Structure 1
Amino acid sequence: MKINSNHSETELITGLRNDEAQAFERVFHTYKGKLYSFSWRFLKNRELCEEIVQETLINLWTNRHQLDLNYPLGPYLYTIARRLTLNALRNAATAGSAREKLWKDLQEAHNETEEAILLADLMEFAEQAVAKLPKQQQLVFKLSRYEGLSHEEIAEKLNLSKSTVNNHLVEALKNLRHHFKNSGISYGLLLAYLPFMR
């Protein structure tokens, strides 16, 4: 996930871990509105929502040295905001049935938000990984997975033998698995979110 054109999320996390106030300011401006909107869906209270945004970002700064470079900031921040929102809801809702409904609604909204963020991160990572493949492997892989061409169609299009196309695909998948493994990202997780990788 790109925070802006000049700073990647990894650079931001590194900046936070190095106590850089500017990195925190960029995170603040990127996420304050999103976190506010998330808590507003349930609390409908301006002061409470502002408190949750503030507490979430204070928590981020307090725990900045423990941040994982391989774990996106979005899901981390939404997890904190969800917990704080739930606490506020628990204080507001006295009936057990009301609490259960609020928890269910909150859980569903959080899952949708986190999955959207995770999917965007995985898609970007996958694109970067494919771009690092050797040119011929990259071309064969894209024709197969992106355009849905068969081995025979790729062979004809590129004037290659069917076995050469198959070899390129096997090597491409092997290289991608290696790349994901070295980056600490589960290949299984990628398969779950990115069907074209199968």
Structure 2
Amino acid sequence: MNDNSALPDSDLVIRLRNGEEVAFKIIFDRWFKKLYYFSFRYLKSKEEAEEMVQETMLQLWVTREKLDERYPVSSYLYTIVKRLSLNRLKQIASSKSAAEHHFVNLKVTVNTTEDALSLSELKRITAEALALMPEKQQQVYRMSRNEGLSLDEIAFSLGILKNTVKKHLSEALKMIRIHFASRYYLLVVSLVSIINK
């Protein structure tokens, strides 16, 4: 079939279980916007909703061998993104006590050493992306994700406008997405090699 985008979800799930990157990309492209709008209804934040969808897709990849093509992949994806979004709301409510809440939701589903290694890789890629950012972007990202501060709190702390904080955070998340995309192939290769050991 030349038009892979027309493949039914059940076929894509079978191919995804076999570690096919193309199947993952098709599912990603097919569901990203729908999941984004679903998450946005909870979080009311473009950046947060995008992050929840990215984490959902990462969980899809990490747990792909457990998927069953008899069940709609949409149900699986919506369940994950809803849980992540609700957990994120809880984290925002008690953000001061969350030291590394950017990865807390992912850790909920980590059941194996292989999954832990892939999480470690994701953290490493995020750290690499942070190192490439201007200092102010790094600072805003860490205050938001590591310290759990709101945009208003960050703006007050740094003595800058809230819109400036939003811009820095948006640019930081964009940089992480770009860096993740550039490193995605390496991540997939490392995951496949771990699983095949």
With normalisation by structure 1, the TM-score equals 0.44
Q: Higher relative CO (CA 8 A, sep ≥ 6), structure 1 or 2?
A: 2
With normalisation by structure 2, the TM-score equals 0.44
